[in-house]
Amino acid sequence: MYLESFHKVLKHIYLEGKRVKRLDKTINALIKYSRDSLYKRLIKLSKNIPTEKVQRVRQSHNSSKLIKLEQIQIVENKKVYIIRSLSNPSQQHYIIKTDETCTQSSCLKCKKCDICIHTFQCSCIDNVIKANICKHIHACAREFISLDGNTENTVFQDSDMTEQKKLMDMVATSSHHKAHKNQTIISQTQMILGLSSTNEYSNENLQKIEKKLAEVLAIMNEGGQTHLKTVEEVNVQRKIDPQLRLYSTKKKSSKTSIAKPSVNEVNAIISGLKDDNNETINVHNVFDHSYS
C-alpha cells in the first residue's frame, strides 16, 4: 500500500503523469520527493504531533491502569508473565521479556514505561497482529520494571531533538554540494560539443579526432564494462494509462416499475370517477392470451 502510494505521488505529481524517457528527469523528481519528505518530517517534529502508532501506545498505557498487580502472575524471575483477559477471564495472555530497550529514536517506544516494541512479546492480538505495545505489556513494565510511572527516560526525551538535529544537518549538507572531481573532464567535453557543432573539419582531421575519442572512451569505459542498451521510442508527451478502478460486482435489485397509463386508460379512469354508478371500464392493452 505504501509503495503504491509513493508510485502514485511520484508519477502523477512530480512527473506530471507523463512517460519519462530520460533518467536524469526521474532522478531529479526523486530528489525533489526526498527533499519535500524531509521538510514534512521536520514540520511534524517541530509541531510535536503524535502519529497514529504513538496514539495507540498511549491509549494502551492508559488502559493498562485497569490491570492490578494481583492479576499478574510471574512464571519466571521477571521474564515470563501471565495475565487473564479482562473481557474473557477464561483466556490467558503470556508476556515474555525478550530484549532490552532500544536507544534509537526511530523505534516505537512508551516513554512512561521506559520500553520499546522489542522489549516484550505478548500473545494477544493487539501485539501479534497489530504490532502495538498492548496494555498487558504496559502493566508488566509499570509494575515490575519502571521505578516510577511518571518518570521518563532522558534518552527518550531527547530522541525527537536528536532526530531533528540530524535532519537539519542533512538539509545543510545537501545545499552545499562539493565540487565534482571530474569537473575538468566535464568542462572539456562541453567545449568539444560546442566546437563540433560550429566548426567544419577535413576528412583527415575527422579520422584523427574519431581515433582519439575512441581511445578516450576506451580508457573511461575501463575495458568495456558499460554496455548501453537501445531504448524503444517513447512518446514523452503521451499521458500514462489511468490506474484501474475497482467496481462493485454486486447485482442491483431490479424493481418492478409501473407503466404509464395510455390515453384510453386515462379517459376510462376519468369517466369512471364521474359516473355515479361507480362502474369503471377496464381497458387492457397487453396481449396475454394464447390460442392453441
The CA distances from residue 93 to 57, 72, 86, 123, 128, in Å, are: 18, 10, 10, 6, 11
Rounded mean pLDDT for each run of 10 residues along the chain, 292 residues in total: 86 86 88 89 79 89 89 82 87 88 81 87 90 91 62 48 71 56 76 80 87 83 60 71 75 71 81 70 62 60
CA pair distance 180, 15, nearest whole angstrom: 27
Q: Return the pLDDT at 231.
A: 61
Give the pLDDT of residue 61.
Answer: 92
Q: Which CA distances in Å does 254 have to 100, 251, 257?
A: 63, 9, 9
- CA 223 from chain centre, in angstroms, equals 43
pLDDT number for residue 60: 92
List Cβ<8 Å contacts ≥24 apart for 179-188. Answer: none
In the prediction, which pLDDT does 59 show?
92
Q: Quick one: DSSP state of residue 177?
A: P
Q: Which 3 state secondary structure label does DSSP give 253?
A: coil
CB 160 within 8 A of CB 130: no
